[in-house]
Chain A
Amino acid sequence: DIQMTQSPSSLSASVGDRVTITCRASQSISSYLNWYQQEPGKAPKLLIYAASTLQSGVPSRFSGSGSGTDFTLTIISLQPEDFATYYCQQSYSPLNTFGQGTKLAIK
């Protein structure tokens, strides 16, 4: 299995801040990396696929980058609705695996 490790596991920030979440794969996954946002009690929502392609309807303050084993999700100018848990997911292997999640809390 390809292991996905996110860092940090949690972070706190303020409205208007810029934050970066990192996802590292246990082997190269090319650019086959997706990001999801999950609010408490809700289903995950796709933000970015193929490392950097913004899903339709997702605000442009979200961006993704990376290839190989190291990837980042950046959110500029945090909004109140952005405080949630974020997951990365690799699809290089047909056995899709997720990171453990990063909880973004209000400072």
Chain B
Amino acid sequence: QVQLQESGPGLVKPSETLSLACTVSGASISSYYWSWIRQPPGKGLEWIGYGHYNGGTNYNPSLKSRVAISVDTSKNQLSLRLNSVTAADTAVYYCARDLRSYYGSGSYYNWFDLWGQGALVTVSS
């Protein structure tokens, strides 16, 4: 049974860096793509970006200048770093397995079939 577990500080000061880890159990992190998705309190879902063990990443352009996602195969872990945070970054952060189906010449569509339970990060001084 594959499980995802987010971890990291629940409180970050404005202008500092938010760092979260997602530990995957029951599957090799090298076998899939993995995404981070966030949800501000009482609001909808926003895709942040994905990472792959081969170093491949893609980010939401709205966050691209501040975000970094990486995969550590030795720890079977996905990481998220978001710098220069503000109150607008307060949210529940989810990691999710990002399954894909390919078509044509390199195009794909994807879906998030497994999610962690989420980690609430509050940005406040």
Chain A contacts for B109, CB-based, 8 A: 30, 32, 50, 91-92
**What is the distance, in angstroms, from A9's C-beta to the closest C-beta of chain B?**
11
Chain B contacts for A97, CB-based, 8 A: 47
One of B101, B110, B116 near A43 (C-beta < 8 A): B116
Q: Is B111 an interface residue (CB 8 A)?
A: yes
Chain B: number of interface residues, binned into ranges: 20 to 34
Chain B residue with Cβ nearest A35: B111
Interface contact B111-A91, CB-CB below 8 Å? yes
Interface contact B101-A50, CB-CB below 8 Å? yes
How many Å lie between the Cα of A98 and that of B94 in the bound state?
14
Interface contact A50-B44, CB-CB below 8 Å? no
One of A46, A98, A101 near B113 (C-beta < 8 A): A46
**What is the distance, in angstroms, from B98's C-beta to the closest C-beta of chain A?**
9
Interface contact B45-A98, CB-CB below 8 Å? yes
Interface contact A100-B117, CB-CB below 8 Å? no
Interface contact B113-A55, CB-CB below 8 Å? yes
Q: Is A49 an interface residue (CB 8 A)?
A: yes
One of B45, B61, B116, B117 near A95 (C-beta < 8 A): B61
What are 8 pairs between A and B in contact, CB < 8 Å?
A43-B117, A49-B111, A55-B113, A89-B112, A96-B35, A98-B45, A98-B47, A101-B45
